[in-house]
Chain A
Amino acid sequence: MTKTAPSIARRLRFAPALALVLAGIATTALADRDPAYAAARAAGQVGEKPDGYLGVVSGGSDVRALADKINIQRRANYTERAAAQNATIEEYAFTQGCILIQRTAPGEKYQAPGGAWQTRGAGAPERDPRCP
Chain B
Amino acid sequence: MTFPRLTAPNPAATSSGMKRRGMGGSGSGRRVASAAAVLVIGATALAGCISVNAPDKPIVIELNINIKQEVIYRLADDVKKNIEANSDIF
Contacts and interface: CB of A to CB of B under 8 A. Distances in A.
Contacts of B74: 85, 87
Nearest to B80: A99
Interface string B15-27: 0000000000000
> What's the dominant secondary structure at chain A's contact region?
helix
Interface string A65-89: 0000010011001000100110100
A92 B71 CA distance: 9
A33 B89 CA distance: 7
Q: Is the interface of B mostly helix, strand, loop or mixed?
A: helix
A132 B73 contact: yes
Interface of B: 64, 66-69, 71-76, 78-80, 82-83, 85-90
Contacts of B72: 91, 94-95, 98, 130-132
B79 A30 contact: no
B78 A74 contact: no
A103 B83 contact: yes
Interface residues of A, number: 28
Contact of B79 (A34, A73, A95, A130): A95
Name the 6 nearest CB pairs between A and B, nearest first.
Answer: A95-B75, A130-B69, A31-B87, A73-B89, A132-B76, A95-B72
Contact of B83 (A30, A34, A70, A99): A99
Contacts of B76: 95, 98-99, 132
A96 B82 contact: yes
B79 A70 contact: no
B67 A81 contact: no
A96 B79 contact: yes
Contacts of A99: 76, 79-80, 83
Interface string A97-132: 011100100000000000000000000000000111
Given A92-B75, A94-B64, A100-B90, 14 more contacts: A31-B87, A31-B88, A33-B87, A34-B88, A73-B89, A77-B82, A77-B89, A91-B72, A95-B72, A95-B79, A100-B83, A130-B69, A131-B72, A132-B73
